[in-house]
């Protein structure tokens, strides 16, 4: 047997509003953790300065444009 619903959830509109708020909170939490999951890069000042001084050079993590992986 189901336990009775709280008084404010006995109305259909209140249930729908509660469900909509719960879904929105879950979506907000998912978006937050998608961007802030702890895998952020922490570059040092020298690497940032080098990148700003030479923006067109390929970084070490990027393969050169003429690599054999493109074949």
Give 10-residue mean pLDDT values along the chain (71 residues).
Answer: 80 92 97 83 85 77 54 46
Q: Count Cβ atoms within 10 A of the Cβ of residue 65 and give its class: 0-12 exposed, 13-18 middle, 19 or more buried.
A: exposed
Report pLDDT for 58.
64
**CA 8, CA 23: separation in Å to the nearest integer?**
18
pTM of the entire predicted model: 0.49
Q: String of b and e for 13-36 (b: at least 16 CB within 10 Å)?
A: eeeeeeeeeeeeeeeeeeeeeeee
């Amino acid at each position: 047997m189901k336990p009775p619903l709280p008084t404010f959830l006995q109305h259909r509109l209140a249930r729908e509003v509660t469900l909509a708020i719960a879904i929105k909170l879950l979506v907000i939490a998912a978006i937050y953790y998608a961007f802030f999951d702890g895998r952020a890069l922490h570059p040092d000042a020298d690497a940032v300065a080098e990148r700003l001084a030479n923006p067109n050079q390929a970084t070490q993590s990027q393969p050169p444009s003429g690599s054999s992986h493109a074949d």
